[in-house]
Amino acid sequence: MKKIQRKRKKEHKFLKFTYIKFTVITCFFCLMWMPGYTSFSREGDNVFHVMLNGVSVGTVAEEETAENLLWQARYQVASEKDDFAFLEANLEMEGEEILWGEIDAQEDVLQNMVEVLRDSIQTTLKKVYTVKVDEYMVNLSSKQEVEQLFQAAIDKYDELGDFKVKLVHAPRREFSVYTMVVEDPEEEEDQEKQDDYMECGVQAVLSSMGEESQEQGEMNFEDYSYGIQDMDLVENIEVVEAYLPANQLNSLDEAISHLISEQEVPVEYTVVSGDTLSEIALKVNIPMEQIVEMNRDLLDTIDTPIHVGDKLIITVPEPELSVERVETKYYEEIYDAEVEYVDNDSWYTNQTVILQQPSAGFRKIAVEERYVNDEVVERTILKQEIVKEAVALRIERGTITPPTYIMPLARGKLTSGFGRRNISVKGASTYHKGVDWATPTGTTVYASCGGTVVKAGWASGYGYVVYINHEDGRQTRYAHNSKVLVTVGQKVKQGEKIALSGNTGITSGPHVHFEMLINGVQVNPLNYLN
C-alpha cells in the first residue's frame, strides 16, 4: 500500500514539473510575439529610440519605420498650411539590442512627430505675385489684385469701362511668369462673328465682301465710331509667382497710388542753339532757380552762361505706369494753316521777314488721336470739311547759320550783371550796359566771335578798349584792358587774343567788361553766349 502511495506521489511531482515547464515556455513565446514587444536577435540593434529636433517621440523596431513616419508627419503639417512653410526636422535614432522590450504604437509616434514639427515652424512664406513695371516692383497677394491694379490704370481714362485687363502667361517664358493684356469686348465679338462667317461658306464670304465694298465709299461724320478704339499699357510688365514673408506684401491701394500718381522723374535736357535759361524754364515749366539748384555742377547762378550741347537735369511729372490709347473724336474748331516759309540763302537763320499775315479758318473734322496718358502724341485727320479757309502765315527766313559767341576769358568771377545796379565808384553808370568778370591784371582776353576790329585804343571811362563788328550785324566791346593786342581794320577769329585785362578807366578793380550790341543797342550778352 505504501509502495503504491510513493508511486502516485512521484507521478504527481512529474506532472506538476511538466505543467510548470510548459507554462513557462508558453509565456515566453507569448511575450516574444505579443504586440508592443520586439523579439530577441543576435544580429545587432533591434529597438530604436527616436528623437526629433531633440525631443523624444517614441520607440520603433526599424529605422525605416521612423523615416516613413517623419514623411507622413511633414505632409500632415504642410497640408494644414495654405502658405509655404519651412520646417526644422532633425531626426536622430539611438539603437539598442535587447532580448525583448516594449515599442510604441506607430500612431502615437506619428502624432508626437506632428506636434514637434508644428512647434518647429521657422518661417511661413505666402504665395505672392511680384509685379515689375520697368524698375518698379510691388508684391501683391493674388492674381485678382494684380488685375485690379492694372484695371485701375485703364479705368483712369476708360470712363465707360469698355476695356478689361487680363493676366496671361508670358509667351516663351516659364509657366509661372505672366504679363498683362488689355482686351476690348467688342473686338472679341467681332472676331466671333468673323469666325461664324468663315463657317458659313462661300455665300457668307461674298456677302461680307459686298459690305466692305460699300464701306470703302466716302464716309459721313456720323458714320464714324467715336470714342476709345484701342488701349494698351506702355511699359514692359512682368508678373512672377513667388514665396515671400507676409511682411513684404504691399497693399493694393498703396500699389495703385504709386503706379498711377504722377512722380517727379529726372530727365536730361540738351541745350540747343538759341536756348537761354529763361526760355528753357518756360519750355519745361520749372523756375530758373530750381534748374540752377538741380545743376550745381554746371550752373552757379541764373546768369551763368549755357552752351550748345550742355546737359541739364530737369524733372518732369510722369506716372510709373503709362497708358496708351487711340480715340476717334469730332471737332468743330477754329484752326490755323501751317506756316509757309520762303528761304533766303543770303540771310542768317535769325533773320526773318513776315510776307503775309495769317487769318484763322473754321472747320469740322473727325480725327484719330493717339495719347500717352494725357498727352496727344499723334493726330490724324480722318475727315475734314472746311467752313472758312485759313490764310497761312508766310515768312521769309535765312538759311545761313549765324556766328556763335563764347565767353571772352577762360575763367573769372561774375561780379556785375546787366542792368540797373548800385555803384559807389564816382563817374560809373548806375545802368550797367554789359557784364563784368573779376580777374587778375594781365589775363588774356579773347574775341567772343570772329569779325573786324573797328576800335582799338583809349576810350575815356572804358580805358583801353577793343570794338569788333561781326558778320551778323552785332558788335562786341571789351573794356578796362591793360594792353590792346590788335589794330583797327584787323580781321580776327573767334577765340583769338585781342587784349590783356586790366584796371584802366573808371573801375573798382581789375576785371573784364564785356558788351554786346544788336542794331546799336546794348543787350544782355549772357543770353547769347554758347
Cell of 379: 493726330
Residue 371 pLDDT level (bands cut at 50, 70, 90): very high
Average pLDDT over residues 519-530: 90
Is residue 405 in a domain? Answer: no
- pLDDT mean over 155-161: 89
Residues 392 and 430 placed together within one structural domain of the fold: no
Into how many domains does the chain fold?
6
Domain boundary among 87, 119, 151: 119
Q: Which of 187-191, 279-283, 296-300 has the lowest mean pLDDT?
A: 187-191
pLDDT above 50: residue 464:
yes
The pLDDT value given to residue 191:
53
pLDDT at 155 over 80: yes
Q: What is the mean pLDDT of the chain?
A: 83
Does residue 265 sit in the same domain as residue 286? yes
Task: Give the residue numbers spanning the domain of 235.
Answer: 128-204+222-243
Helix 202-215, helix 185-200: angle, nearest 10: 130
Burial class (CB in 10 A: 0-12, 13-18, 19+), 188: exposed
Task: Note whether residue 236 is domain-resident.
Answer: yes
- 7 and 60 part of one domain: no
Indicate whether 191 and 274 sit together in one domain: no
Specify the DSSP class assigned to residue 529.
B
Structure confidence at residue 185 (pLDDT) = 66
d(CA 492, CA 109): 103
Mean pLDDT of 189-199: 51
pLDDT for 149 equals 92
Categorize the per-residue pLDDT at 47 as very low, low, confident or very high, splitting at 50, 70 and 90: confident
Q: What are the tens digits of pLDDT across the range 320-348?
A: 888 999 999 999 999 999 999 999 998 88
Residue 481 inside a domain? The answer is yes
Q: What is the dihedral of CA 503, 505, 506, 508, to 10 degrees?
A: 0
Shared-domain flag, residues 470 and 494: yes
Name the pairing type of β-strands 394-400 and 340-348: parallel
pLDDT, position 432: 85
Evaluate if residue 245 carries a pLDDT over 90: no
Mean of pLDDT values over 224-248: 88
Give the pLDDT confidence score for residue 42 in this predicted structure: 47
Task: Find the CATH number of the domain harbouring 263.
Answer: 3.10.350.10
Query: Do residue 132 and residue 235 come from a single domain?
Result: yes
Confidence of residue 223 (pLDDT cuts 50, 70, 90): very high
Which residue would you say has higher pLDDT here, 507 or 331? 331
Which residues on adjacent β-strands are paired with residue 501? 481
Residue 462: which of 418, 511, 411, 408 has the closest Cα? Answer: 511
Residue 427 has pLDDT above 80, yes or no: no
**Shared domain check, 508 and 418:** yes
Residue 396 has a pLDDT of: 95
